[in-house]
Structure 1
């Protein structure tokens, strides 16, 4: 029989044995669990190849010719940086806050693990993951919420962290981590996007307090958001600055000085509808996707590239500053022109003044997103009309910025139909490189691109094509033709163009003067002599591909449709010695590692001889010097060598101006969405009033910036072999008199 003294000893010994059995059991269970995880019984672990190519959604970056970021394509707004592009402040803030022993461990900091267990036991919750473990979680999994699954995931993170440490340097690990972190606002991922979004700087420029703010957001981008919770953000930033001082990355004095600073945000949220060249970026994306599909350009595993996820670098010809100038010019003048348009229609009934206005509205309603959504929900036509006549909160475009208002949806369609649309493209005629692309008024409200996707009648901007054929046939710009009606019969059908009475005060006009004032009868006379087929052939050689471009004499007045893209490219032939250099905007595409995936070179076609092109520049300069483009000189002071042509279509539905200089060719179009809605007078609706001023404002800005290299006083180069066509009208007149006398003497 055991004594009372022996009983506690026996019990203690038994408890001791049971405790160590439990410890051993837990240890062996942990070993077995770890082994099972290592052998991937609970899920696949990243392979070495996965580690070399971590799967993270990287934004593809669109770069201008001057290497500035025009925008990005993304699911997650993430762009990578290299270690040497990081400010030391960012690295110091991260290490001081997240992993002070980062340079001493190999992925798992066991000393920290055991200290964290102690802190959690006494109620002080602490995180035990190293930077490398956090990277493993960011790259390869999402945090599990089930406790058992989280334990398995933690072991997977440990194994992955060790693999990462074996395959990457500490600097590479830091960089990868900073490239994958979520920074909250507007889907911002990675330090590069965060620096641009919150401070509008690059990561290498981040100051200690800026770096501390961003690193402070790492563990709680929502609660520590400087936008939504500025007090939390300041407290968290100051904590990070304190940790930087504790770890001797800052002195105590520096830390206190940085803490005293305000947040100093320069909030620049990145949205795919914001920024420069929004229409261009949308067209570019579709172009790249089509090109990659047509040429079967795929990744090594055969899967297609994803512009929103694969971090491609897209190099374009767009000049960042010139693009900005083009958009500024549009906004500046279109505000004024819209006011002219609104005043022009104020007090007038649209239903009475515009034929089929009710049909226009009905079509607009049926094409709207609201109509489609209501139809999908099973609404009847009567219910849909009731909805469209019920006031709703909505956001509307104005040239002064978007506004929130309450309006009937049907009235918003009326409002939208009366918004003037505008598009513009500017290119280098020699290289074919497009420097600026303004596809519409506002991409958020109007998605349709009017530079390349949209086509409209081109009006009198078509006349130079016919005159170019005449010049190629030996006619001189000084050749005089009578001002009289012209009728051309084709296939038994007679065509006589209209000419405004104000243009018919002359008895005769030279070809140069007739083009300058855009005289219809003289243009028709020239067409009757050169015929339509050679003109159509030339237009096609100059890159204009229009389905309704047919060999009818009326094409001299621009009765066919074309895009700003094609017309600007066509006029570049005049400035480029007769050669059509294909307008291009995409130079090359590289993958995230800098490997070339695709490169584009422009096609070149000799459309006309050098002499014809040069004489046409002389003819087009006449438009500015003594014709419909006179405002460039008189109002805007552009007296340097510039040629161009205005265009106005029937009923003033479309206004055009295409201007040429030796280094830059620029096309501008303005009109409403529906051709039936337009200015009621030519004085207001002509291209000289609706399109030319935007060209003028743009060129003034371009010329004012000498760094762009667009020289103001450079003239068009004459042909190397000289010019045989007489352009001196005094000399031409003498030649004609001499010829007449000779003909008389010979009896002709």
Structure 2
């Protein structure tokens, strides 16, 4: 045997041994992965019961998505919901031999090996199949150091083959499209469709499908919101691939390439998007509801609102909410500018002012530093340290370096807002605006904030008066008097009209919000009777038994006041506010029905007052809109709807209120500063008719322009009974008559002693009778 041949055989053996050793090492390495030495791999049993975290959906009354509660923004749909062009785009772009391989595409792997590794050609594409990507999406990747990429790839190949053995190709596509990550931290095609195009997956166009499939290559780079040009270029690559593999004709591809991507972005993040305050309240209610054992899963586990893909059906109306938010922003942007301009350089929120110093000492960080024993100078120095912070603005959010004290001064100037609209017939909340921006001001001004309600409490006082026997045509002198039983308290009227010698009817007094008469009506009726009336109308907060409640000194929530006012258009019964109507699991099975969630039946609620009283007070509040303090609804905003209402302004112009009552909608708006030491600089600016009423007016204007809401906007009040109309047949004012002749020499400072009156009794009831005798 020739020596060269011997050498060749030796080398062949060495190579063989070397390859054998490498193969043995690879087999050992592969086995170590397969049997879990590098972490457990999902077995067939686990894969057969795949459970992916799904976002809980919050739906409006029309089943439109208004928000989600999630760790991962994902919601699953069925294969039948995928349009064919979506499937075609995915196959053509990500895995053209998807229907031919068993999870591993050997041809693609060879192409990658030879072109990418041996020939350094980056255009060869990737060797990952849809099934391999699914395996990665389902179980993620772990850090195994320098061997990480190899170990993870082998794990994914094992899982991919198991998936192919367990599931059909349609099922794999369904799993993939329901779990694959899209831009903006979005998981699954349905969530991506709703976020970027405000559309369900089944309604996606070819161009929209191509854009979303194109983004899978690089979520950040091809984000259609952030990088529209790059997204469009990538979309055209997908279209080209579809044409290449016969999914589109040349003409179809050409047209699709020329069509641009139009984004209709919907943000469902907890702090952003539509109705964030409402969604936060829904989450609070769910946290409480789902802890009740009757709402546990069949297996005894508690439902998890972050993972179980629940569907929460609510009363909110998506469109009405948009109108309400738009109206709020339009008005508050302008009001904030006026508010700051009116104060100028003497604003109470500026450093060194009393309101600022008091707010500083309420800061948690101030209290923490104080508890550590630091003196005022050290605390001040600490609070002056600057840091980067996002700043809210009515124009746009900016980032600026500022200290805690600078930030406090900046944010202390902002007015905030609350708006709620209810269907009075059932308490369904149709619109809910808890503040000007949830991302920066998460305090909910509908249910968390209790503020003085001002003159919006007066209708309750007058309601109690009528219920306790007072005649609707009772007259009261507008003149101010001093109450010796309340530290010589002397309530007055805006504009100084308390010195007038005229007597006002109840309707005229309420529609013009006369303070002096409201207190006299309270005394005539009895404080206990007024408080009892408020409780019967659904107010649950404590109301202090003091005469100033006639002027709205009580601190109540916006939702409480809305509940009370529903009585005037709901058969004299308060409507219990309703947020959630039904809860379903991810498969549509009902977990909690309306009856489960709301066992109380409004029809069984006792009437808070008589029908006659209800009709009389409604007439009083119609006059408020037609000729009283809310007349600008007619003059300035040209609203011709059937509206009754009441304005409210509190002491030092710190709170502005407006209540708008329509036959099928009760809406309350509130405006004020969260720091209750800061009010408006003038009544002209801060009164409810100027600060709160315009939000309601702009909101109703938008509803009027939408014919879909004609049932609300064109509804009419019932015609008052003949008895009610007769009881209101009197002049708005009267002369003092016999009363003035008898007591005309008495001076303004005459004291009025508090007395408990019988129905229709007392000096003012007697005055009414004597005046009618003289007329």
Determine if the TM-score, normalized by the shorter chain, exceeds 0.5.
Answer: yes
Alpha carbons of structure 1 residues 361 and 181: separation in structure 2 relative to 1, 3 Å: same
- Secondary structure of the corresponding residue to residue 574 of structure 2: strand
Listed one character per residue, the Cα deviations across residues 695-745 of structure 1 (whole Å, up to 9, x for unaligned) are: 1121122122120244444332358x9756843415999xx99x979x99x
Identify the match of residue 448 of structure 1 among 443, 447, 463: 443
Distance in structure 1 (CA, Å) of the matches to 2:161 and 2:636:
71
1:659 is paired with a residue whose SS is strand
Task: State how 1:491-510 maps to structure 2 within 5 Å.
Answer: 496-500=490-494, 501-510=496-505
C-alpha spacing 1:324/1:373, structure 2 compared with 1 (3 Å): farther
1:161–1:390 distance in 2 versus 1, CA, 3 Å: closer
Residue 706 to residue 36, structure 1, CA distance change in 2 (3 Å): same
User: How far apart in 2 are the matches of 1:302 and 1:173?
Assistant: 30
Deviation at 1:137, TM superposition (A): 2.1
Match of 1:122 in 2: 118
- The verdict on how the C-alpha distance between 1:722 and 1:138 changes in structure 2, with shifts beyond 3 A counting, is farther
Q: State the secondary structure of the residue aligned to 1:579.
A: coil
Report the alpha carbon displacement of residue 199 of structure 1 after superposing the two structures with TM. 4.5
Give the aligned partner of residue 643 of structure 1. 644
The corresponding residue for 2:320 is 322
Aligned mates of 1:461, 1:479 — CA distance in 2: 21
Map 1:269-284 onto structure 2 (within 5 A). 271-284=269-282
CA contact (8 A) 1:646 1:687 kept: yes
335 and 116 in structure 1: CA distance in 2 versus 1, 3 angstrom threshold:
closer
1:581 match: secondary structure = coil
Distance 1:267 1:388 in 2: 39
Cα distance in 2, alignment partners of residues 396 and 32 from structure 1: 56
Moved more, 16-25 or 530-539: 16-25
Q: Decide which moves more: 625-634 or 384-393.
A: 384-393
Structure 1 position 79 matched with structure 2 position 75? yes
Q: What TM-score results when the alignment is normalised by the length of structure 2? A: 0.83
1:478 aligned onto 2:479? no
Report SS of the residue matched to 2:656.
Answer: strand
Aligned to 2:59: 63
**Equivalent-residue separation in structure 2 for 1:368 and 1:108 (angstroms):** 60
Residues 20, 331 of structure 1: alpha-carbon distance in 2 compared, 3 angstrom cutoff: closer
**Counterpart for residue 331 of structure 2:** 333
The structural deviation recorded for 1:663 is 0.5
2:21 & 2:425 partners in 1: Cα distance?
82
Give 1:514 shift: 1.3
- Alpha-carbon distance in 2 for matches of 1:27, 1:388: 61
Change (3 A) 1:514 1:255: same
* Cα offsets for 1:634-690 (capped at 9, x unmatched): 222224321111111111111111111111111011112222222243233221121
Q: Normalising to structure 1: TM-score of the pair?
A: 0.86
Aligned mates of 2:394, 2:23 — CA distance in 1: 75
User: Match for residue 133 of structure 2?
Assistant: 134
**Cα distance in structure 2, aligned partners of 1:540 and 1:584:** 19
State the Cα distance separating 1:197 from its structure 2 match: 4.3
Q: Which runs of 5+ in 1 are unaligned?
A: none
What's the offset of the Cα at 1:424?
A: 1.0
CA deviation map 1:521-576 (0-9, x unaligned): 322222223212222122122221223x1233332221110011110111011111
Q: Secondary structure at the match of 2:591?
A: strand
Q: Indicate the residue corresponding to 1:164 in structure 2.
A: 163
Q: Is the 8 A contact 1:482 1:508 kept in 2?
A: yes
Structure 2 match to 1:248 = 246
The answer to whether the 8 A contact 2:616-2:724 is kept is: no
Verify: 1:45 aligned to 2:42, yes or no.
Answer: yes
Quote the residue 1:593 is aligned against. Answer: 587
Match of 1:558 in 2: 552
Equivalent position to 2:84, from 67, 84, 88:
88
Cα offset, 1:210, TM superposition = 3.8
Structure 1 residues 527 and 684 mapped into 2: Cα distance closer, same or farther (>3 Å)?
same
Secondary structure at the aligned position of 1:729 is classed as coil
Change (3 A) 1:136 1:657: same
CA contact (8 A) 1:476 1:725 kept: no
Paired residues of 1:64 and 1:315 also in contact (CA < 8 A): yes
- The 5 Å alignment of 1:30-429 reads 36=35, 43-46=40-43, 48=45, 51-56=48-53, 58-109=54-105, 122-123=118-119, 127-142=126-141, 144-146=143-145, 153-184=152-183, 186-225=184-223, 233=231, 236-259=234-257, 271-294=269-292, 297-299=295-297, 304-348=302-346, 350=348, 358-368=353-363, 382-386=377-381, 388-389=383-384, 394-404=389-399, 409-429=404-424
2:757 match: none
**Deviation by residue 1:273-332 (Cα, 9 ceiling, x = unmatched):** 332212222222222212223557444565544433333222221111111111122122
1 CA distance for matches of 2:717 and 2:41? 67
Q: Unaligned 5+ residue runs, structure 2?
A: 734-764
Distance 1:197 1:395 in 2: 24
Query: Aligned residue for 1:527?
Result: 522
Q: 1:278/1:535 Cα in 2 relative to 1: closer, same or farther (>3 Å)?
A: same
Which residue is 1:461 aligned to?
456
Distance across 1 between alignment mates of 2:514 and 2:100? 84
Say whether the 8 Å CA contact 2:178–2:187 is kept in structure 1: yes
Render the CA deviation track for 1:219-249: whole Å, top value 9, x for unaligned.
4324544567777655544443332122211
User: Which residue of the other structure, out of 419, 431, 435, is the alignment partner of 2:430?
Assistant: 435
Distance in 2 (alpha carbons) for counterparts of 1:109 and 1:349: 71
1:583 aligns with 2:584: no
The separation in 1 between residues aligned to 2:209 and 2:707, in whole angstroms, is 37
Deviation readout 1:332-388 (Å, 9 max, x if unpaired): 22233223322321243649xx9x974432343355577689899998753542354
Map 1:12-31; keep pairs closer than 5 Å. Answer: 14=13, 18=17, 25=24
CA shift, 1:6, in A, is 7.1
Structure 1 stretch 560-569 or stretch 229-238: which is displaced more?
229-238
RMSD of the TM alignment (CA)?
Answer: 4.0
Superposed displacement of residue 95, structure 1: 0.8
CA distance in 2, matches of 1:421, 1:458: 15
Provide the rounded CA distance (Å) in 2 between the counterparts of 1:537 and 1:93: 68
More off after superposition, 172-181 vs 228-237: 228-237
Query: Which SS does the other structure have where 2:641 is aligned?
Result: coil
- Which stretch shows the higher mean deviation, 316-325 or 603-612? 603-612
Judge conservation of contact 2:196–2:225 (CA < 8 Å) in 1. Answer: no
CA distance in 1, matches of 2:25, 2:584: 52
CA distance in 2, matches of 1:471, 1:92: 72
- Relative to structure 1, the CA distance from residue 234 to residue 328 in structure 2 (aligned partners, 3 Å threshold; closer, same or farther) is closer
Residues of 2 paired with 1:410 and 1:138: CA distance?
Answer: 46
What is the aligned partner in structure 1 of residue 634 from structure 2?
A: 633
User: Displacement, 1:214?
Assistant: 2.6
